[in-house]
């Protein structure tokens, strides 16, 4: 496969690189470069800069305010924003629910929600996983009972990223128990400020509340906030998951981790020289770099299929699975390269100045990366999908 990009694509890459160098606020760049968390306020500040440039929604059609970029342009944009130390945008509005609304939503839903996603007025979270239905979403128990011109929704969602600062949640809820499990699910838009919504943050391994539990206690959801036909939410969910699993292949992020690894391994060590000169360690770095290159080629193939109007199919599961494993291997090597500096960790140290803060930030990434083989559908589930769809088992 030819990995060379066209002259037009390379010109686009240079344009993006120059824009990020010019427009990204220095204080945000410094936080990202140091590996420190970027809060909602700074993320929104960057999103508004992208919005003003017309680049906040790369994959949206122009009719809805998007840039209508090709999948390759979007990939190059992601690579340059990560390489330029820009923060991640909140994907749940822009890259998850918005494509669903554009494809399945009514004109009224599009007019109500899409502009406020574009200008960052509304933040979204994803209400999929439950205590008894994580990767097996068809087993979800949250119920939406018909009530006049709407529903009463009760249940519990968990591992919900950004729920503590979200305005809206797109949610899967069971509207029927009569049909097969996938046919009784509806796709609902839930106002997080509605009576009956309770959010309880969860501290994960790094001691930070990235995710939350969301309790829904008889929450009123108008029928106008159901996307698609009743009981047909599984179709919306599968469409959304195809986008999610390609994006969480995380090639640009893994490239940045690889650069961080090489930078740390090149440092002088007292009485030992740089770890990068150790043959065994260099071999491990070379192996993961080769695997990352092969992973990138596979991602580009999937993007080419998207551009041709074909769904990636089971390849999306492979991208998610391999991407998670590469990220974990890279963070393992970074912690190993830090040596004794990685042994002391507590969340407050992430904000410490100098090498102590940098080491703590990298350990935090290592701890968080343990979840990468779980979120977006666990790697075990992805292997099951591949076994059935590819091997016919």
Please identify every residue annotated as catalytic.
244
Give DSSP secondary structure letters for 197-218.
EEEEEE--TTSS--EEEEEEEE
Q: Report in angstroms the alpha-carbon separations of 19 from 7, 28, 51, 139, 251.
A: 18, 15, 13, 45, 21
By the 8 A CB rule, do 100 and 126 touch?
Answer: no
Question: 127 in helix, strand or coil?
Answer: strand
Taking the C-alpha atoms of residue 171 and residue 194, their distance in angstroms, rounded to an integer, is: 14
CA dist., res. 41 & res. 27, Å (int): 12
Nearest Cα to 57, choosing from 104, 95, 113, 102? 95
Query: Please, are residues 242 and 385 in contact by the beta-carbon 8 Å criterion?
Result: no
The 8-class DSSP code of residue 68 comes to: -
Please list, residue by residue across 68-90, b when 16 or more beta carbons sit within 10 angstroms of its beta carbon and e when fewer do.
ebbbbbbbbbbbbbbebbbbebb
Residue 288: C-alpha distances to residues 213, 363, 364 (Å): 35, 19, 21
Q: What do you get for the CA distance between the two ends of the chain, in Å?
A: 30
Q: What backbone phi and psi angles, to 5 degrees, belong to 121?
A: -65, -35
H-assigned helices in the chain: 7-23, 26-33, 40-53, 71-83, 91, 98-104, 107-118, 233-247, 251-265, 279-307, 315-338, 354-369, 379-389
Residue 67 phi/psi, 5-degree rounding, is -90, -15
Q: Are 59 and 95 within 8 A, CB to CB?
A: yes
CA-wise closest residue to 188 among 213, 157, 158: 157
Number of neighbouring beta carbons within 10 Å of residue 101:
23
Residue 124 pairs in a beta bridge with 168
């Amino acid at each position: 496969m030819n990995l060379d990009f066209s002259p037009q694509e390379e010109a686009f890459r240079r344009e993006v690189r120059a824009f990020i160098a010019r427009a990204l606020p220095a204080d945000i760049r410094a936080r990202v470069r140091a590996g420190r968390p970027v809060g909602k306020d700074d993320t929104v500040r960057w999103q508004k800069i992208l919005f003003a440039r017309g680049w906040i929604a790369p994959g949206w059609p122009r009719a809805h305010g998007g840039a209508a970029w090709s999948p390759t342009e979007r990939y190059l944009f992601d690579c340059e924003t990560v390489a330029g130390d820009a923060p991640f945008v909140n994907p749940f509005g822009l890259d998850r629910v918005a494509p669903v609304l554009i494809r399945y939503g009514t004109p009224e839903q599009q007019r109500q929600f899409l502009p406020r996603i574009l200008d960052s007025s509304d933040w979204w979270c994803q209400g999929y996983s439950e205590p008894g239905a994580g990767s097996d979403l068809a087993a979800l128990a949250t119920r939406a009972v018909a009530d006049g011109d709407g529903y009463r929704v009760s249940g519990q969602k968990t591992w919900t990223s950004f729920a503590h600062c979200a305005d809206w949640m797109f949610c899967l809820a069971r509207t029927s128990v009569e049909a097969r499990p996938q046919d009784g699910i509806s796709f609902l838009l839930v106002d997080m400020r509605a009576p009956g919504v309770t959010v309880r943050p969860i501290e994960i391994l790094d001691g930070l509340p990235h995710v939350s539990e969301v309790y829904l206690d008889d929450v009123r959801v108008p029928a106008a906030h159901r996307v698609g036909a009743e009981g047909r939410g599984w179709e919306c969910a599968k469409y959304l998951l195809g986008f999610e699993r390609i994006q969480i292949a995380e090639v640009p992020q893994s490239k940045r981790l690889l650069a961080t690894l090489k930078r740390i391994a090149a440092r002088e060590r007292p009485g030992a020289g740089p770890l990068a000169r150790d043959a065994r360690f260099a071999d491990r770095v070379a192996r993961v770099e080769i695997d990352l290159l092969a992973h990138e080629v596979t991602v580009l193939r999937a993007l080419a299929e998207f551009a041709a109007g074909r769904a990636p199919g089971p390849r999306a599961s492979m991208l998610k699975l391999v991407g998670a494993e590469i990220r974990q291997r890279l963070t393992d090597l970074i912690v190993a390269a830090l040596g004794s500096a990685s042994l002391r960790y507590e969340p407050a140290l992430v904000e410490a100045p100098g090498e102590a803060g940098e080491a703590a930030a990298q350990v935090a990434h290592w701890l968080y990366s343990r979840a990468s083989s779980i979120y977006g559908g666990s790697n075990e589930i992805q292997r099951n999908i591949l076994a059935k769809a590819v091997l016919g088992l």
